[in-house]
Amino acid sequence: MSEKGDIETVSHNPQLACKTVLVTGGAGFIGSHLILLLAARYPLWRIINVDSLEYCASLKNLLYLESTSTYKFIQGDVCDQYFIDHLFSTENIDIVFHCAAQSHVEKSFLYPSQFMHVNAAGTNVLLKAAFESGVEKFIYMSTDEVYGDSLDKYFDESSPKRPTNPYATSKAAAENIVLSYWNNHQLPVVIARSSNVYGPRQYHEKVIPRFLFLLQQDQKCTIQGTGLQSRHFLHVDDVTEALLILMKRGIMGEIYNIAANFEIAIVQLARELVKMVKNPPKAKLDDWLLYVDDRPVSDLRYPMISDKMHKLGWKPKIPWEEGIRMTIKWYEENKSHWPAVTEKFPCGC
């Protein structure tokens, strides 16, 4: 039976074949949601979570699975070749979701070599071990930012990569390494480029949780530059569903845009959150906004087309209005989930 057929069959009857899945960055935002979905959808599969537990990761995201025999957490660094080689030689890994990354754009301008080391060199370490152990599929989590800025043209997967910041450059470099393992070694790889992701449990360096955290502290939302830069926002549940579809039906060596339908300017996003959290008089709405210096390079928008994903049967299911209300509710009910912000960083978007 083909690999595709095998995974498709298992999706209907997990008892037929158990897999071992490695999720890197599994204590982070997208990774933890992905692990929870995998555990619910494939209860007999082994899930290994490797995370270095940087500031934006928390094992609290996965408390539900701590007593589950099929889930295993291992603290480690994807850049540590000895650790990664040992992991693959001992755990019999079938499928890899590589979500671990340094992802805060502002910090990438300050520490570009660190971002290249983790995001590109770390990906190479993981790919080498995955190739040598013969994994069935390697799914790499990338970003719409590799395309660079566009005012009107929508990017498809054949559009050139023109990254404009160190974070996006490191992700574009990692993509090149991933594809080199397909072209040179036929390692079965798939690349997913996602729009901005939001939802519960996201660390508050990202724009939506950052604004919500500031408003909870009766502080103003900090708007970089004019705030006219816009982003396409996609709920994390739609992203993790897309990743499972790529695991089941993604074509080897292909890139897939996971694009959101909803787009909003950052200044308008701040106003919407102010209305929903603080509900001030209309005339006082902008009193909750504070304009700060812009980042060195600020792309206005990253519009993408997701036709390839649609052909696999995926489309976003969670409307913005529903998703943002669920997100606000979670942050209101879990104010102590993340420690208070001590670093004066601007939001990332």
- Known catalytic residues are 144-145, 167
Query: Which amino acid is present at 293?
Result: D
- Distance of alpha carbon 157 from alpha carbon 254, whole angstroms: 9
Nearest to 304, CA basis, from 144, 113, 146:
144
Q: Tell which phi-psi region holds residue 335, choosing left (phi > 0), alpha (psi between -120 and 50) or beta.
A: alpha
- The Cα angle at residue 223 between residues 222 and 227, in degrees rounded to 5: 165
Find out whether 66 and 108 touch, Cβ atoms under 8 Å: no
Nearest to 174, CA basis, from 120, 226, 234, 215:
120
Q: CA quadruple 110, 123, 29, 275: dihedral positive or negative?
A: positive
